Amino acid sequence: MSANFHLSLPCKDVATTKTFYTEVFNVELGRNTNSWLDINLFGNQITFTKSGEFNFEFKNYRLEEHILPSFHFGIILDIDEFGKLYGKLLQMDIGVTIETTFMKGNVGEHLSFFVKDPNSYMIEFKSFKEKSSIFKS
Q: pLDDT of 44-96, one tens digit each?
A: 999 999 987 777 676 776 777 766 776 788 999 999 999 999 999 989 988 88
Contact assessment for residue 75 and residue 125, using Cβ atoms and an 8 Å cutoff: yes
Return the bridge partners of 8, or none. 47
Number of other residues whose CB lies within 10 A of the CB of residue 78: 10
Between the alpha carbon of residue 9 and those of residues 15, 37, 119, 126, 130, the distances in Å are 15, 10, 9, 21, 31
Q: Work out the mean pLDDT of the chain and round it to a whole number.
A: 87
Contact assessment for residue 119 and residue 48, using Cβ atoms and an 8 Å cutoff: yes
Instruction: Give residue 1's pLDDT band: very low, low, confident or very high (50, 70, 90).
Output: low
The whole-number pLDDT of residue 132 equals: 84
pTM of the model: 0.82
Instruction: Give residue 123's pLDDT band: very low, low, confident or very high (50, 70, 90).
Output: very high
The whole-number pLDDT of residue 131 equals: 86
CA distance 36 to 50: 6
Choice among 12-16, 23-27, 132-136 with the minimum mean pLDDT: 132-136
**What is the arithmetic mean of pLDDT over 30-46?**
94
Tell me how many degrees the CA angle 41-27-84 measures, rounded to the nearest 5.
85
- Is residue 11 helix, strand or coil? strand
Number of other residues whose CB lies within 10 A of the CB of residue 20: 20
Q: In this structure, which amino acid lies at residue 133?
A: S
**What whole-number percentage of the chain has pLDDT above 70?**
91
Strands (E), the chain: 6-11, 28-32, 36-41, 44-50, 61-63, 66-68, 72-76, 97-102, 110-116, 122-128
